[in-house]
Amino acid sequence: MPTRYSLFRISAVAFCGVCYFAWFGGVVGLRAEHIVLFALMAVLYLVNTSTRHFLACFAAFIVFWVVYDSLRVWPNHSINPVHIAEPYLFDKQWFGINTPQGRQTLNEYFATRTSTSLDIITALFYLTWVPVPMAFAGWLWYYQKPLFIRFSYGYLMTNLIGFSLYYLYPAAPPWYVELNGFVFNANTLRSSAGLGKFDQLISFPLFERIYQRNSNVFAAIPSLHSAYPLLTLFYARQIKQRWPAVLFIILTLGIWFSAIYLRHHYIIDVILGALTAVLGYYSFEALYRYTKVGKWLDRLGTE
């Protein structure tokens, strides 16, 4: 067996480093966080068996981040036509409401009926969409490691399905229609939409900076904002304690409403996001239960 700092392990790190930096440096565009991530992975791999095990357990989240960050290389609008009018008209027909101004989508309805309290509440819900599931993952790691492993790979499966749908059906969000109408503009500026009001309230461009880093404007369908809390709820229900499930029911409903109120997603986006979570969860669980993948993950979770 190779030992710590052996030629084998150092060579493996060197080879992976060449591939990693060739990709991010030569294709994606190297940033400081890429260097930090690789340094962290190299240290964890080299130190000892426990740190290598830790790295293996969190591999699904690392793969997710690398894939997501790499989506910018081939924007989905360069693969398939962007659907701008279709989601808007579908939402207006099936989920719209009649107002004195005519039939409107719920996004249009809320755009003229905002309130400071809702601006704050919805922004806070939107801030939870990744940090709270990740905090839950950390809690599982400490208390229920086998379920953590399943959650992490269910999370990866859901994201891979969502990313695939981004490319199959590129779709513009509601705020894009507000700014550009139904005209395609590949160079449109990324917008935080209704979240901009929260930035104004705190006098800091929090969400503006977050959305400037968004790798894809035309990724409204499916809404992964809507998928994450529901997927987490599926795993939270498998814990004896009731509080995680109650927490994620609240977060799921809150984020779904916020996505519409803040004009980041249509109702159809939210519905398809929820279905993506369902598909991701049951697809992975089938893979886990009926293939050798499950046995490998069980070993990883019990070591």
In this structure, is the dihedral angle defined by the CA atoms of residues 65, 66, 67 and 68, taken in order, positive or negative? positive
Confidence check: pLDDT of 3 > 70: no
In this prediction, residue 246 carries a pLDDT of 95
For 231-273, the DSSP string reads HHHHHHTTSSSSHHHHHHHHHHHHHHHHHHHTTS--HHHHHHH
Phi and psi, residue 53, nearest 5°: -65, -40
Angle between helices 267-290 and 224-236 (to 10 degrees): 40
pLDDT > 70: percent of the chain: 98
Which residues are CB-neighbours of 193 under 8 A, at least 6 positions away?
173, 174, 175, 178, 262, 263, 264
**CA 148, CA 303: separation in Å to the nearest integer?**
13
What pLDDT, on a 0 to 100 scale, did the predictor assign at position 300?
84
In this structure, the answer to whether residues 83 and 136 fall within a common structural domain is: yes
In a domain, 215, yes or no: yes
What confidence category does residue 4 fall into, taking pLDDT thresholds of 50, 70 and 90? Answer: low
Residue 294 pLDDT: 87
Are 1 and 133 in a shared domain?
no
The C-alpha atoms of residue 120 and residue 171 are separated, in whole angstroms, by 27
Kindly tell me if the per-residue pLDDT of 2 is higher than 60: no
Question: 105 and 155: one domain?
Answer: yes
Q: Please indicate, yes or no, if residue 73 is contained in any of the structural domains.
A: no
Give the percent of the chain with pLDDT over 90.
83
Q: How far apart are alpha carbons 132 and 138 in whole angstroms?
A: 10
Give me the sign of the Cα torsion angle 112, 116, 118, 124.
positive
Alpha-carbon distance of 226 to 230, in angstroms, equals: 7
For residue 1, name the pLDDT band (cuts at 50, 70, 90).
very low
Domain assignment present for residue 175? The answer is yes
Asked whether residue 66 is assigned to any structural domain, the reply reads no
For the chain, how long is the longest CA-to-CA vector? 75
Same domain assignment for residues 257 and 192: yes
Is position 247 within any domain? yes
Give 77-136 pLDDT, tens digit per residue.
Answer: 999 999 999 999 999 999 999 999 899 999 999 999 999 999 999 999 999 988 999 999
What's the CA gap between 84 and 169, in Å, rounded?
Answer: 11
pLDDT tens, position by position, 249-270: 999 999 999 999 999 999 999 9
> Which residues are registered as beta bridge partners of 219?
171
Residue 62: Cβ-neighbour burial (10 angstroms; 0-12, 13-18, 19+) = middle
Give alpha helix (H) positions in the chain: 7-23, 32-47, 49-57, 59-70, 85-95, 106-111, 116-127, 131-143, 145-168, 174-180, 196-202, 206-212, 224-236, 243-261, 267-290, 292-302
Residue 213, pLDDT > 80, answer no
H-run or E-run covering 97: strand 97-99
Residue 23's pLDDT is 96
- Alpha-carbon gap, residue 256 to 212, rounded angstroms: 22
Determine, yes or no, domain membership for 67: no
pTM: 0.94
Query: How far is it, in rounded angstroms, from Cα 204 to Cα 207?
Result: 9
Range from 139-143, 155-159, 186-190, 265-269 carrying the lowest mean pLDDT: 186-190
Whether residues 165 and 225 share a domain: the answer is yes
User: What's the pLDDT band for 216 if we cut at 50, 70, 90?
Assistant: confident
Q: Residues 6 or more apart from 27 whose CB is under 8 A from it?
A: 70, 73
Residue 68 falls within a domain, yes or no?
A: no
Whether residue 70 is contained in a domain is answered as no
Average pLDDT in the chain: 93
18 and 101 fall within a common domain: no
With 90 as the cut, is the pLDDT of residue 187 above it? no
Domain co-membership, 217 together with 288 = yes
- The answer on 96 and 39 residing in a single domain is no
State the residue range of the domain holding 15: 1-57
Whether residue 184 sits in one domain with residue 274: yes
Q: What is the pLDDT of residue 64?
A: 95
CA angle at 128 for the pair 124 and 130, rounded to the nearest 5°: 150
Same domain, 162 and 212: yes
Is there a single domain that holds both residue 20 and residue 158?
no
pLDDT of residue 99: 93
Q: What's the total number of domains in the chain? A: 2
